[in-house]
Protein backbone atom coordinates (compact mmCIF):
# COMPACT_ATOMS: atom_id res chain seq x y z
CA UNK A 1 0.00 0.00 0.00
CA UNK A 2 1.53 3.30 -1.11
CA UNK A 3 0.06 6.14 0.95
CA UNK A 4 0.77 9.83 0.74
CA UNK A 5 0.92 11.82 3.96
CA UNK A 6 -1.27 14.88 4.49
CA UNK A 7 0.55 18.22 4.22
CA UNK A 8 -0.16 20.28 7.35
CA UNK A 9 2.00 23.20 6.12
CA UNK A 10 4.34 23.97 3.24
CA UNK A 11 7.15 25.29 5.40
CA UNK A 12 9.31 24.16 8.27
CA UNK A 13 8.34 24.23 11.92
CA UNK A 14 11.19 26.27 13.36
CA UNK A 15 11.52 25.69 17.07
CA UNK A 16 14.04 25.49 19.85
CA UNK A 17 14.15 21.98 21.24
CA UNK A 18 15.66 20.85 24.50
CA UNK A 19 17.55 17.55 24.76
CA UNK A 20 15.20 14.62 24.80
CA UNK A 21 13.38 12.05 22.69
CA UNK A 22 10.65 13.25 20.32
CA UNK A 23 8.19 11.58 17.94
CA UNK A 24 7.72 13.40 14.63
CA UNK A 25 4.34 12.96 12.93
CA UNK A 26 4.84 11.20 9.58
CA UNK A 27 1.17 10.98 8.53
CA UNK A 28 0.31 14.69 8.74
CA UNK A 29 -2.87 14.06 10.75
CA UNK A 30 -1.64 15.06 14.23
CA UNK A 31 -3.31 18.04 15.91
CA UNK A 32 0.01 18.63 17.71
CA UNK A 33 2.20 19.28 14.64
CA UNK A 34 5.00 18.58 14.03
CA UNK A 35 4.82 15.97 16.78
CA UNK A 36 2.81 12.75 16.88
CA UNK A 37 -0.46 12.57 18.82
CA UNK A 38 -1.21 8.99 17.69
CA UNK A 39 -3.64 10.09 14.94
CA UNK A 40 -1.84 7.63 12.64
CA UNK A 41 -3.50 4.62 14.30
CA UNK A 42 -5.87 4.08 11.34
CA UNK A 43 -3.16 4.66 8.71
CA UNK A 44 -0.12 2.75 7.52
CA UNK A 45 2.19 5.41 8.95
CA UNK A 46 4.27 5.30 12.10
CA UNK A 47 5.94 8.26 13.82
CA UNK A 48 9.66 8.84 13.50
CA UNK A 49 11.36 8.83 16.88
CA UNK A 50 14.47 10.98 17.17
CA UNK A 51 16.77 12.18 19.93
CA UNK A 52 17.99 15.74 20.44
CA UNK A 53 21.26 16.04 22.33
CA UNK A 54 21.85 19.78 22.01
CA UNK A 55 19.42 22.58 22.82
CA UNK A 56 19.16 24.83 19.76
CA UNK A 57 16.83 25.88 16.93
CA UNK A 58 15.74 23.13 14.55
CA UNK A 59 13.75 23.17 11.31
CA UNK A 60 11.32 20.24 11.44
CA UNK A 61 9.61 19.15 8.24
CA UNK A 62 6.05 20.45 7.93
CA UNK A 63 5.13 18.97 4.53
CA UNK A 64 5.95 15.36 5.50
CA UNK A 65 7.84 14.79 2.23
CA UNK A 66 11.45 15.56 3.28
CA UNK A 67 14.06 13.03 2.19
CA UNK A 68 15.67 13.60 5.61
CA UNK A 69 12.54 12.46 7.50
CA UNK A 70 11.95 14.93 10.35
CA UNK A 71 14.56 17.45 9.20
CA UNK A 72 13.32 20.00 6.68
CA UNK A 73 15.26 19.75 3.42
CA UNK A 74 13.25 22.31 1.42
CA UNK A 75 11.09 19.75 -0.41
CA UNK A 76 8.01 21.85 0.45
CA UNK A 77 9.12 24.40 -2.16
CA UNK A 78 8.42 21.85 -4.92
CA UNK A 79 4.95 20.72 -3.76
Question: The pTM is what?
Answer: 0.92
| Cα angle for residues 63, 12, 5 (degrees, 5° grid) | 15
pLDDT, mean of residues 23-52: 96
DSSP state of 14: E
- pLDDT over 70 for what percent of the chain? 97
pLDDT, mean of residues 14-38: 97
Report the alpha-carbon distance of residue 22 to residue 67 in Å, rounded. 18
Q: How confident is the model at residue 2 (pLDDT cuts 50, 70, 90)?
A: low
The domain limits of the chain are: 13-78
Report the alpha-carbon distance of residue 40 to residue 34 in Å, rounded. 13
The reported pLDDT for the residue numbered 3 is 87
Amino acid sequence: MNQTPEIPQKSAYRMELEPGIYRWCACGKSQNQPFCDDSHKETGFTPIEFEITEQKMYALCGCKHSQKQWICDGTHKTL
